[in-house]
Amino acid sequence: MNGLQSGFGAWNPIAWTLLFLGVLVIALLVRSRGRRDYKRGTGQTRVFLSGNEEPEERGGLHVRGDNLYWGMIDGLAAYYRRVRALHTGVLSDYVAWLVGALALMFVILVLVG
Amino acid sequence: MNALLVHAPVLLVAVPLLGAFAVPILGKLGRGVRDAFVGLIIAATAALAGLLAANFFAAGAVPFVYQLGGQSVGIPLLSGGIPIRILFEIDGLSAFMALITALITLTGAVFSFSYWRNRSGGTLYFSLFLLLTAGIFGMELTGDLFNFFVFLEITSIAACGLIGFRVWLRRSQEAGFKVMALYTLSGLFVLLAIGLLYSEYGGLNIGYLASTIGTGILDKVALGLLLTGLAMKAGAVPLHMWAPDAYGEAPAPMSAVLVANSQASLYAVFRIVFTLFSATVSATALGWILIVLALLTIFVGVTMALVQSDIKRLVAYGAVSQIGYMLLGVGVGLAVSAQAAPPAYGFVAIQGGLFHMLNDAACVGLLFFASGAVIRAAGTRDLNRMGGLAHHMKWTTVFFAIGAFALAGVPPFNGFASKFLIYEASFQLSPFLSIVAILSSILLLAVFVKGFQAAFLGPRPSQPVEKAPVGMLVPMAVLAVFVIGLGLFPGFFVDHIVTPAAKALWDGPAAYITTVIGLGG
Amino acid sequence: MRNEMSVIVRTITRCVYGMILLFGFYVIMHGHLTPGGGFQGGAVVASAFALLLVALGAAGVKGHLNRHILQTLEEIGALAFLALGFLGIGTAFFYNLFAGTGGFFGAPAGQLLSAGTLPLMNWAVGLKVMTGIACIVIVMMVGGRKEETK
Amino acid sequence: MSIGNFPFVVAALLIVLGLYALLFKRNLIKMVIGISLIETGVNLFLVMAGYRTGGMAPIYTLAPTPIRDMVLPTPQALTLTSIVIGLATTALLLSFAVFIHRHYGTLDIQEIKELNG
């Protein structure tokens, strides 16, 4: 009733959600078996980075938007340089894209026709 | 009740139009009167759309026409085999689109009330809002190409008036000019195509044209003009450049309605390739054109979203990429529909593409509303200068997360349900298609993780934050309920409203044509 | 820039203003009989307003053309047009209720008071167009003036 | 005397001229003029699509008996509607141009590109 059949696979969100909740319960059970002597405010919660202790006051640090995924964007730099260069913001270029797409569409439709 | 039902198609256009012209007069009586009136009009419109769609789908989704100015509303008058008078034609797809539009315009209007609460000059905004609503409904319901052009231009003018409504913002004026110029140009392409078709066949009714359409070079030129112009208005790459400007610079509730506007253009693309020009060019070729556009749209949209640092442009590029999924689903269906024994996955693909329109409207609307609330609270749109809003705006945070997960296709939200159908069906045509679609979906999750992390996480902001008022939270909550409901019970919606809509495309133009001329002649 | 033009222009404007108005109203009134109609006639009337505005300057027509009144009239024109559409909703939207009834606007085709709701619609559209275009012209003129003084 | 296909050539010329203005002119006002040119070209095409050599004006009450060729009224209605819409779009574009000049202090499209990337 509430599932989807694609003829190739099936998707039932209710079953998935129940399964998800089941796994969640198991995970919480496993977690509850953990050590209870883990205490806040002691050396156990101190943060180390590469063996050096991170100072507490940097707890207020916030990774700003553009710093996320910089590695990936850097890796795709060649792609981004080209694609961002296409988004010039100049209306004439937009119109050129429109006219070019129209011409291409004509060519394809007439050739394929 | 019955009379209301009979006249529902035209009332869907006439009632918001009436509201649009009455609002400036009632606005002089004060803000309360104006808001109550706009709420009444938009609620009545949404109720009419719901009534129309509910009855239509319950009655087995048989297409019917509404004749303006005739002796009766039913079967059109023919003159020499050509339908005369202005016709509205409602089939499964039109009714489905009307439902989407009703959902978005209703929530958008409620959000707008809070948005304009503390600013002056909202009266003309609501007038244009209702005009845009009337135009979108008209585009979806009309059965006549020339009417379609008129409604297209109504939406263009109203939409651009709303994009540039805040004349004190320099960027909104820039966006308004660019978008208006492009919309006008695409509208003129459409008009030229209409002129070509008229001079060839002497009629403008879509059903009539579909029944006589040929394979000549003029038909192909007309198809190219229509397809390019409407793909531009739908925001398909490489004609998408206006979309982030428009979605980004419009007032937040407008961005959501603009998505509904783009979807109406997408509806027109589907109507044209499936119904109007089904005989002109091979469906396989047309289908592959749509698929190539779709892949470009998905990939470029998502990758460009990743590098945005303006929260609304980020969501806007996400919205652009979703247009690609709809094109992909329907394109796959079109590409295989011409085969001697069309495989069943073609129908599944169309189901997925159309279902994704509904899902996309709900999620993108939610995200635009939430980002509007975020910008209002943070006082900036720059993701690099935001942070920690979750400490103050718990509900907005939750809604943004729901919308982001849903749009990125994370189960069990609704975006996954429709993307699942698209993945499965496109995989059977070519695994490459579904690989691009799935990878882009994952990338989209990364995009929204970036947006979410930058705006909501992090330490408590130092300056005080203006929380989202209840009037903004309610429309978000409504859309969030839709997102979750569509996600948990996709089978119900697919069976009852998506399947009739997909059938209207998949079964070819015969039903659409006979409704206009088969019986009346 | 001076606010008004030379005395020749002003005098000629005063002479032809009434004639243009009259011709505009004629075009609107005979919209259902001859080429023309609400939009064309309205545009003619609005061109008379524009002429007045150009010749006399924005200050010269201040009392004559009030933008807020024009705006209200524009809305009324649009509402009247829609109301005429709703009149026929007993049968179908835009159904011509009065045509051929012999009564109100029901004279045989070719006479002035014929064609049912069509002449009324022409008047509604004419009202909307003349006031709408006049508004646009006024706003553009005032907006441009501000620009120059800056 | 027949005018042949000459108006269609003019229509095509107008459209190409308008596209030229949109693509290569830098002034916003000139771009608006370009859009108007395209619109005029399309309108001319529409009117020509309904024209019949020797046809008379499509007025119901003036129709002679027996009925001779009349010019098709539908394209004229189309053209008229398109002119009305063109009026609205031109007015909107020009008012955007006024505000852009107020904010940016220029009408050069190459300098109005804050929305990029």
CB atoms C139 and D98 under 8 Å: no
Q: Answer yes or no: is A84 within a domain.
A: yes
Domains, chain D, in order of start with CATH, read: 6-57+67-111 (1.10.287.3510)
pLDDT of residue B30: 82
CA–CA gap between residue B318 and residue B300 (Å, rounded):
10
Q: How many domains does chain A have?
A: 2
Q: What is the 3-state secondary structure (H, E, C) of chain A?
A: CCCEECCCCEECHHHHHHHHHHHHHHHHHHHHCCCCCCCCCCHHHCCEECCEECCHHHHHCCCCHHHCCHHHHHHCHHHHHHHHHHCCCCHHHHHHHHHHHHHHHHHHHHHHC
Backbone angles phi, psi at A47, to 5 degrees: -100, 130
Which phi-psi region, left, alpha or beta, contains residue C109 (left: φ > 0; alpha: ψ -120 to 50)?
Answer: beta
Cβ neighbours for B399, distance < 8 A, ≥ 6 positions apart: B366, B369, B370, B473, B476, B477, B479, B480
Minimum-distance CB partner of A92 among D23, D115, D117:
D23
- Chain B: closest CA distance from residue D89 (Å): 7
Q: Which partners does chain C have (≥3 C-beta pairs < 8 Å)?
A: B, D
Residue range C72-81: mean pLDDT, rounded: 86
**Is residue A96 less than 8 Å (CB to CB) from chain D?**
yes
> Among residues of chain B, what percentage have pLDDT more than 90?
45
**Nearest residue to C77 via CA among C122, C35, C27:** C122
Minimum-distance CB partner of B18 among C71, C82, C96:
C82
Cβ neighbours for A43, distance < 8 A, ≥ 6 positions apart: none
Give the residue ranges of DSSP H helices in C30-111.
Answer: 38-60, 67-87
- pTM reported for the whole predicted model: 0.91
| B179 pLDDT tier (thresholds 50, 70, 90) | very high
Q: Are B167 and D76 in contact (CB under 8 A)?
A: no
Q: Are B237 and B297 in contact (CB under 8 A)?
A: yes
Question: D98 contacts in C (CB within 8 Å)?
Answer: 140, 143-144, 147
CA–CA gap between residue C145 and residue B63 (Å, rounded):
55
pLDDT of D94 strictly over 70:
yes
Residue range C10-16: mean pLDDT, rounded: 87
Per residue in A41-67, pLDDT tens? 677 777 777 777 766 555 566 677 677
CB atoms C35 and D57 under 8 Å: yes
The continuous run of DSSP H or E covering B79 comes out as strand B78-79
pLDDT of C61 strictly over 80:
no
Inspect the structure and tell me whether chains C and D have 3 or more CB pairs less than 8 Å apart: yes
Q: Answer yes or no: is A50 within a domain.
A: no
In the numeric block, the tokens 């039109």 are attached to B94
SS3 A88: coil
CB atoms A99 and D23 under 8 Å: yes
Q: Are A45 and A56 in contact (CB under 8 A)?
A: no
Q: Which partners does chain B have (≥3 C-beta pairs < 8 Å)?
A: A, C, D
CA A50 and chain centroid, separation: 27
pLDDT of residue B46: 93
**Is residue C19 less than 8 Å (CB to CB) from chain B?**
no
| D68 pLDDT tier (thresholds 50, 70, 90) | low
CB atoms C91 and B71 under 8 Å: yes
Q: Which range marks the domain in which residue A12 is found?
A: 1-35
CA–CA gap between residue B157 and residue B163 (Å, rounded):
10
Which phi-psi region, left, alpha or beta, contains residue D13 (left: φ > 0; alpha: ψ -120 to 50)?
Answer: alpha
pLDDT of C117 strictly over 80:
no
CA–CA gap between residue B355 and residue A4 (Å, rounded):
12
pLDDT of residue A60: 61
- Chain A: closest CA distance from residue D112 (Å): 7
In the numeric block, the tokens 């009989």 are attached to C33
pLDDT of C149 strictly over 50:
no
Backbone angles phi, psi at D57, to 5 degrees: -65, 140
Per residue in B304-323, pLDDT tens? 998 888 899 999 999 999 99
| C91 pLDDT tier (thresholds 50, 70, 90) | confident
- Chain B: closest CA distance from residue D110 (Å): 12
pLDDT of B302 strictly over 60:
yes
Q: Taking the domains of chain C in order of start, what are their residue ranges?
A: 7-149
pLDDT of residue B63: 86
Which of B173, B205, B314 to substitute to test the interface with D, most D CBs within 10 Å?
A: B173
CB atoms B14 and C93 under 8 Å: yes
Residue range D32-44: mean pLDDT, rounded: 94
Question: B383 contacts in D (CB within 8 Å)?
Answer: none
In the numeric block, the tokens 């020339």 are attached to B146
pLDDT of residue D1: 47
CA distance from start to end of chain A:
43
CB atoms D38 and B188 under 8 Å: yes
Which of D17, D22, D37 to substitute to test the interface with A, most A CBs within 10 Å?
A: D22
Q: Are B154 and B131 in contact (CB under 8 A)?
A: yes
In A70-101, which positions are buried (b, 16+ CB within 10 angstroms) versus exposed (e)? eeeeeeeeeebeebeeebbbbbbbbbebbbeb
**Nearest residue to C99 via CA among C88, C91, C89, C107:** C107
CB atoms C75 and B25 under 8 Å: yes
Strands B64-67 and B87-90: antiparallel
Q: Answer yes or no: is A105 within a domain.
A: yes
Q: Answer yes or no: is A106 within a domain.
A: yes
Give the residue ranges of DSSP H helices in B250-343.
Answer: 252-271, 283-306, 311-337
Minimum-distance CB partner of C144 among D61, D91, D98:
D98
Q: Which partners does chain D have (≥3 C-beta pairs < 8 Å)?
A: A, B, C
| B168 pLDDT tier (thresholds 50, 70, 90) | confident
CA B387 and chain centroid, separation: 32
pLDDT of residue C146: 56
CB atoms B7 and C93 under 8 Å: yes
- Chain B: closest CA distance from residue C67 (Å): 13
Which of D46, D96, D102, D109 to substitute to test the interface with B, most B CBs within 10 Å?
A: D96
Question: B73 contacts in C (CB within 8 Å)?
Answer: 91-92
Q: Are B165 and B171 in contact (CB under 8 A)?
A: no
Residue A79 in tokens: 């792609």
**Is residue B249 less than 8 Å (CB to CB) from chain D?**
yes
pLDDT of B189 strictly over 90:
yes
In B367-389, which positions are buried (b, 16+ CB within 10 angstroms) versus exposed (e)? bbbbbbbbbbbbeebebeebbbb
pLDDT of D75 strictly over 60:
yes
Below-70 pLDDT ranges, chain A: 1-2, 38, 41, 54-62, 65, 113
Inspect the structure and tell me whether chains B and D have 3 or more CB pairs less than 8 Å apart: yes
Q: Are B209 and B201 in contact (CB under 8 A)?
A: yes
Per residue in B331-385, pLDDT tens? 999 999 888 788 888 899 999 999 999 999 999 999 999 999 998 888 888 888 8
Residue range C92-109: mean pLDDT, rounded: 68
**Nearest residue to B165 via CA among B119, B100, B114, B229:** B119
pLDDT of residue C150: 42
Residue range B170-195: mean pLDDT, rounded: 92
**Is residue A73 less than 8 Å (CB to CB) from chain D?**
no
Minimum-distance CB partner of D91 among C34, C40, C136:
C136
Residue A51 in tokens: 């063996």
Residue D21 in tokens: 């203005």
CA–CA gap between residue B448 and residue D73 (Å, rounded):
54
CB atoms C139 and D59 under 8 Å: no
Q: Determine the residue of chain C that is closest to D89 in CA distance.
A: C136
pLDDT of B519 strictly over 70:
no
Question: B241 contacts in A (CB within 8 Å)?
Answer: 87, 93-94, 97
CA B282 and chain centroid, separation: 27
pLDDT of B160 strictly over 70:
yes
Cβ neighbours for C113, distance < 8 A, ≥ 6 positions apart: C105, C106, C107, C119
Task: Enumerate residues 79 to 118 of chain C having a beta carbon within 8 A of any beta carbon in chain D.
Answer: 109-110
Per residue in B270-300, pLDDT tens? 999 988 888 878 888 889 999 999 999 999 9
CA–CA gap between residue B395 and residue B456 (Å, rounded):
11
**Is residue D89 less than 8 Å (CB to CB) from chain B?**
yes
Q: Are C59 and C3 in contact (CB under 8 A)?
A: yes
**Is residue D24 less than 8 Å (CB to CB) from chain A?**
yes
**Nearest residue to B336 via CA among B348, B325, B324, B320:** B348
pLDDT of B520 strictly over 50:
no
Residue B303 in tokens: 């990758």
> Among residues of chain B, what percentage have pLDDT more than 70?
99
**Is residue D94 less than 8 Å (CB to CB) from chain C?**
yes
Per residue in B396-437, pLDDT tens? 999 999 999 999 988 888 889 899 999 989 998 889 999 999
Give the residue ranges of DSSP H helices in B59-121.
Answer: 92-115
Residue B368 in tokens: 């635009």
Q: Determine the residue of chain A that is closest to B299 in CA distance.
A: A83
Q: Are B23 and B127 in contact (CB under 8 A)?
A: yes
Residue range D72-94: mean pLDDT, rounded: 88
CA–CA gap between residue B223 and residue B211 (Å, rounded):
15
CB atoms B174 and D114 under 8 Å: yes
Q: Answer yes or no: is A15 within a domain.
A: yes
| B98 pLDDT tier (thresholds 50, 70, 90) | very high
Q: Are B89 and B210 in contact (CB under 8 A)?
A: no
SS3 B215: coil
- Chain B: closest CA distance from residue D106 (Å): 12
Q: Answer yes or no: is A45 within a domain.
A: no
Question: B300 contacts in A (CB within 8 Å)?
Answer: 83
**Is residue D97 less than 8 Å (CB to CB) from chain B?**
yes
Q: How far is CA B90 from CA A35, B74, B139, B504, in A?
A: 65, 12, 11, 10
**Is residue D112 less than 8 Å (CB to CB) from chain B?**
yes
Q: Are B22 and C75 in contact (CB under 8 A)?
A: yes
Residue D3 in tokens: 């005018």
Question: C91 contacts in B (CB within 8 Å)?
Answer: 70-73
Q: Taking the domains of chain B in order of start, what are their residue ranges?
A: 282-488
CB count within 10 Å of CB B116 equals: 19
- Chain A: closest CA distance from residue D109 (Å): 6
Q: Answer yes or no: is A102 within a domain.
A: yes
Average pLDDT, chain B: 88
CA–CA gap between residue B493 and residue B340 (Å, rounded):
30
CB atoms C82 and B14 under 8 Å: yes
